Amino acid sequence: MYNSLDHPLARPAQSQPPAAAGRLASVFSARLGALLGTWSARTRQRRELAALDDRLLRDVGLSRETALREAEKPFWRR
């Protein structure tokens, strides 16, 4: 005899196993940490670029206007 609970759609949905959820959380936190590190580095580098004098900017081949345009970008923009 066929039991209606044997049908896959009749069974309650199962959540992810604890190990899979832990791996997902680990991957998420690692990616978030990397993103925050990138944003922090951009902020620091842009602040340092804005502080360079004209002589140093010429040494690296940038004009003051180009350096300031880059330094004014928000941290999330490349």
Q: Is residue 53 part of a domain?
A: yes
Q: Is residue 13 part of a domain?
A: no
Q: Is residue 9 part of a domain?
A: no
Q: What is the pTM of this model?
A: 0.68
In the structure, what pLDDT confidence band is assigned to residue 5 with cuts at 50, 70 and 90? low
Tens digit of each residue's pLDDT (9 = 90 or more) over 34-70: 999 999 999 999 999 999 999 999 999 999 999 999 9
Tokens 């002589």 belong to residue:
55
Which range of residues forms the domain containing residue 77? 21-78
Please name which of 41, 49, 52 lies closest in space to residue 72, comparing C-alpha atoms: 49
Please name which of 68, 41, 72, 73 lies closest in space to residue 52, comparing C-alpha atoms: 68
Domain count across the chain? 1
Q: Which letter does DSSP use for residue 61 in this model?
A: T
Please name which of 60, 40, 34 lies closest in space to residue 49, comparing C-alpha atoms: 60
